[in-house]
Structure 1
Amino acid sequence: MTDLVETAPPARKTDFGKIAAAAGLAVVLWASSFVAIRSVGHALSPAPLALLRLAVAAVTLTVFAVAKGAVRIRLSRKAFLLVAAYAVLWLAAYTVVLNAGERHVDAGTAALLVNLAPLMVAVAAGKFLGEGFSRSLVVGSLVALGGAALIATGATGSNDWAGVLLCLLAAVLYAAGVMVQKITLRHVDGLTAIWLGCVVGTVVLLPWTPQLVSELQVAPTGAVLGSVYLGVFPTAVGFTAWAYALRRTDAGRLTMVTYAVPAVAVLLSWLLLAETPTAYGLVGGVLCLAGVAISRRR
């Protein structure tokens, strides 16, 4: 785990535009995923939806890998285990838990809660990597936790509480996935990492194949198309773009751009689904983002 404290190689000025474009693309696509999950979640259960999403992503990325000539690449045992670890944590478990959470809370609220992940990364680094706890990290943590508590206060029903807890668990899995992925990208390129990760995630979720087949038989066309969209764009394209940027810059700095995900998700949710978080959710979400921002100050 000490590899996490290493910084990425300095990027040339000509690379900054590509890094920014890749990170921006990932942010927009990931924000849209919250809306898509909320839209199709009524037709497909959490695990079958995750299976279909990752299977579509695996097929899409296989095409990319074949075109790039990466299908014959050989990985060390360590590299494969790292890929498998982040695939299980982020691509499989996180996706299933988020799908379940969005059955209970709106897309904007889910995005606000999941975006606590950068703060969790900072806390984990302070605890396990010897980076310590700065004053800004402590203050930011308290502010963010206050925001999460405010969002939970607005969850009046038991289902809403379940959604809040599930989204917080998704944030934990997200943070763990980022930390493991950063190490993984020192041993394998971004396309290969996300491609093999989607394959591993699909294999892990194969036990839900019978349920997926059963639900697809009665699912509306829009739900199926939405699931395919999740696999192609937020997963295959979005994670590839993120891996490209992550390999070329520091994880802590890059995760700051994800602050924009909840804002974009709330806007898309309002435009496409006519839903917005409650007043508690909006105010609590602002506090969560403020807390994350404070914690990242040097």
Structure 2
Amino acid sequence: MMTSSPASPSRRAGLLAAGAATVTVVLWASAFVSIRRAGEEYSPGALALGRLLVGAAVLGALCLVRREGPPPRAAWPGVAISGLLWFGLYSVVLNWGEQEVDAGTAALVVNVGPLLIALLGARLLGDPMPPRLLAGMAVSFAGAVTVGVSMSGGGGSSVLGVGLCLLAAVGYAGGVVAQKPALGHASALQVTTYGCLVGAVLCLPFAGQLVTDVGRASLPATLHMVYLGVFSLALAFTTWAYALARTTASRMGATTYAVPALVVLMSWLVLDEVPGLFTLAGGALCLAGVAVSRSGGRSARVVAKAPRTGRTHESL
């Protein structure tokens, strides 16, 4: 009689985490298309608040169904910081920045984020920095620069816009690094739900503008905002947290370099924005770098122990 390999549960867990990361990357890439459409009729703060409120409603309903209460006290520092920096600050300044610079410049500057995650993760979390990870991130960043340069239009950028996109990258990186320890004490759903609530509270000053924008916006623009809240926030941030709990912040950050390549493809299919050869080459570099950073066999495996459950989680 055949018996299953002792390692099979670990392999299954690795496949689930990889699948969760893939869902996240695809949905985050689609968010850039929806932000571009909704941003035509919603102000940056109103769009951020609307998206967060929709996401919080969906996540809160899931918590009720699963009977998950608030995170334990040990998780709250990470939840609060990630909520302030990532769900709140990042959402507003990225929406604002994309109105001040062209899409290519925004993509180029925001993609400094994964590099900052790697540096902060190594400094604050003790994340390992294997050569394959560093090489893969270098290749992917070169691809992101290529995509950004190829998509940048003349005169479409401003110092303010570049500064806002850079601030968004810092908020993104700080939020990810703060979220990682919290996932050792609380579930992915708890960390995502309450981080979203913190971000929504931070954005409450935009409530009046949101009411005004909803009243005058077209139905398609509002549906794009709802999509951003349900899929690219509630679902994607939960699958991100699930995967992040099972690998390092640095490796998860490197995975997001697949986003620019997918944005190029989705813009081509959905918005009929035909990419040039230079843009396609940059997208290919992004994907190649992700493949390199995720490779390495057994040497690339990282085991993170979750203090709350005592279980070990194998990396992607």
Residue 101 of structure 1 is matched in structure 2 by 97
Shift of 1:260: 1.4
- The whole-number CA distance in structure 2 between the counterparts of 1:158 and 1:37 is 18
- The whole-number CA distance in structure 1 between the counterparts of 2:175 and 2:136 is 25
Residue 111 of structure 2 is matched in structure 1 by 115
**Counterparts in 2 of 1:68 and 1:57: CA distance versus 1, 3 Å:** same
Given that 1:34 and 1:110 are in contact with CA atoms closer than 8 Å, whether structure 2 keeps it comes out as no
Shift of 1:198: 1.1
Given that 1:51 and 1:208 are in contact with CA atoms closer than 8 Å, whether structure 2 keeps it comes out as yes
Deviations 1:72-126 (A, max 9, x none): x354444223211101111111111111122244556544542332211122345
Given that 1:89 and 1:173 are in contact with CA atoms closer than 8 Å, whether structure 2 keeps it comes out as yes
Does 2:169 correspond to 1:167?
no
Q: TM-score, normalised to structure 2's length? A: 0.76
Report the 3-state secondary structure (helix = DSSP H, G, I; strand = E; otherwise coil) of the residue aligned with 2:184.
coil
Does 2:175 correspond to 1:177?
yes
Does 2:43 correspond to 1:45?
yes
- The whole-number CA distance in structure 2 between the counterparts of 1:80 and 1:131 is 21
Residue 89 of structure 1 is matched in structure 2 by 85
Residue 186 of structure 2 is matched in structure 1 by 188
Shift of 1:265: 0.9
Given that 2:111 and 2:141 are in contact with CA atoms closer than 8 Å, whether structure 1 keeps it comes out as no
Equivalent position to 1:156, from 154, 157, 176: 154
Report the 3-state secondary structure (helix = DSSP H, G, I; strand = E; otherwise coil) of the residue aligned with 1:103.
helix
Identity %: 45
Code of the aligned partner of 1:120: L
Structure 1 segment 137-156 matched on structure 2, within 5 A: 137=134, 144=141, 148=145, 151=148, 154=152, 156=154
Report the 3-state secondary structure (helix = DSSP H, G, I; strand = E; otherwise coil) of the residue aligned with 1:263.
helix
**Counterparts in 2 of 1:112 and 1:201: CA distance versus 1, 3 Å:** same
Code of the aligned partner of 1:191: L
Does 2:210 correspond to 1:212?
yes
Shift of 1:141: 6.3
Given that 2:45 and 2:203 are in contact with CA atoms closer than 8 Å, whether structure 1 keeps it comes out as yes
Report the 3-state secondary structure (helix = DSSP H, G, I; strand = E; otherwise coil) of the residue aligned with 1:63.
helix
Residue 197 of structure 1 is matched in structure 2 by 195
Q: Which deviates more, 29-38 or 158-167?
A: 158-167
- The whole-number CA distance in structure 1 between the counterparts of 2:60 and 2:231 is 14
**Counterparts in 2 of 1:129 and 1:65: CA distance versus 1, 3 Å:** closer
- The whole-number CA distance in structure 2 between the counterparts of 1:215 and 1:119 is 36
Report the 3-state secondary structure (helix = DSSP H, G, I; strand = E; otherwise coil) of the residue aligned with 1:245.
helix
**Counterparts in 2 of 1:29 and 1:139: CA distance versus 1, 3 Å:** closer
**Counterparts in 2 of 1:202 and 1:122: CA distance versus 1, 3 Å:** same
Residue 267 of structure 2 is matched in structure 1 by 269
Report the 3-state secondary structure (helix = DSSP H, G, I; strand = E; otherwise coil) of the residue aligned with 1:56.
helix
Shift of 1:259: 2.0
Unmatched tracts of structure 1, length 5 or more:
1-9
Shift of 1:151: 4.4
Given that 1:101 and 1:166 are in contact with CA atoms closer than 8 Å, whether structure 2 keeps it comes out as yes
Q: TM-score, normalised to structure 1's length? A: 0.81
Q: Which has the higher contact order (CA 8 A, sep 6+)?
A: 1
Residue 79 of structure 1 is matched in structure 2 by 75
- The whole-number CA distance in structure 2 between the counterparts of 1:36 and 1:24 is 19
